[in-house]
Structure 1
Amino acid sequence: METVKFRNPNMYWDIAADIHFPPDFDASNSYPTIISAHPIGSCKEQTSGNVYGTALADAGFVVIAFDRSFQGSSGGEPRSIEDPVQAVEDFRRVVDYAVTLPYVDADRIGVLGICGGGGYAINATMIERRIKALGTVTGANYGRLMRGNFSNLQPIAALEEMAKQRTAEMRGAEVKVDDLLPPSVEAGKEAGLTDRDILEATDYYRTPRGQRPNGLNRSAPSHQAAAVGWDAFNLAEVLMTQPMCIVVGDKPGAFGAYRDGCEIIERAASTEKELVVAEGWSHYDLYDQPEPVKIALDKLIPFYRKHLGEGVANKQVSAAE
Structure 2
Amino acid sequence: MMRTDIEFNAEGAVLRGWHYVPDTGAGPFPTIVMAHGSAALKEQYLDRYAEVFAAAGLASIVYDNRNFGASGGDVRQEIDPILQMRDYRHAVTFAETLPSTDAQRIGAWGTSLSGGHVLMLAALDRRVKCVVAQVPTISGGQGALRRTRADQMAASRARFDEDRRRRFRGEPPATMPLVAEDPQTPCFNGGADAWAFFQESLKVAPSRRNEVTVRSAEMLREYEPGSYIERISPTPLLMIVGTRDVLTATDLALSAYNRALEPKKLVLFEGGHYDPYINQFALSSSAARDWFVAHLCQ
Q: Which has the larger radius of gyration?
A: 1
Q: How far is the alpha carbon of 1:211 from its aligned partner?
A: 5.1
Q: TM-score, normalised by structure 2?
A: 0.88
Change (3 A) 1:51 1:263: farther
Structure 1 range deviating more: 136-145 or 146-155: 146-155
Question: Is residue 220 from structure 1 mapped to residue 213 from structure 2 by the alignment?
Answer: yes
Q: How far is the alpha carbon of 1:297 from its aligned partner?
A: 2.7
Question: Is residue 168 from structure 1 mapped to residue 166 from structure 2 by the alignment?
Answer: yes
Q: Structure 2 stretches of 5 or more lacking a match?
A: none
Aligned to 1:236: 229
Task: After superposition, give the CA deviation of every residue in 1:234-271 in whole Å (9 maximum; x if it has no partner).
Answer: 23224543111111221232x134223312211123x1
Counterpart residue type for residue 20 of structure 2: H
Percent of pairs with identical residues: 23
- 2-structure distance, mates of 1:243, 1:126: 11
- 2-structure distance, mates of 1:38, 1:263: 23
Q: Structure 1 stretches of 5 or more lacking a match?
A: 311-321
Q: How far is the alpha carbon of 1:97 from its aligned partner?
A: 0.2
Aligned to 1:260: 252
Counterpart residue type for residue 299 of structure 1: A
Q: How far is the alpha carbon of 1:157 from its aligned partner?
A: 6.2
- 2-structure distance, mates of 1:197, 1:78: 23
| RMSD (CA atoms) | 2.6
Q: How far is the alpha carbon of 1:223 from its aligned partner?
A: 4.6
Q: How far is the alpha carbon of 1:72 from its aligned partner?
A: 1.8
Contact 1:113 1:119 in 2 (8 A): yes
Contact 1:163 1:222 in 2 (8 A): no
The number of equivalent residue pairs is: 293
Runs of 4+ displaced beyond 6 Å: 154-157
Contact 2:32 2:58 in 1 (8 A): yes
Q: TM-score, normalised by structure 1?
A: 0.82
Aligned to 1:130: 127
Task: After superposition, give the CA deviation of every residue in 1:260-288 in whole Å (9 maximum; x if it has no partner).
Answer: 3312211123x111110113x22211112
Residue 4 of structure 2: which of 2, 5, 22 is its match?
Answer: 2
Change (3 A) 1:156 1:60: farther
- 1-structure distance, mates of 2:282, 2:206: 27
Matches within 5 A, 1:1-321: 1-7=3-9, 11-24=11-24, 26=26, 29-47=27-45, 49-141=46-138, 143-144=140-141, 147-152=144-149, 158-182=156-180, 187-188=181-182, 198-207=191-200, 212-253=205-246, 255-269=247-261, 271-279=262-270, 281-289=271-279, 292-309=280-297
Counterpart residue type for residue 241 of structure 2: V
- 2-structure distance, mates of 1:97, 1:21: 15
Contact 1:146 1:227 in 2 (8 A): no
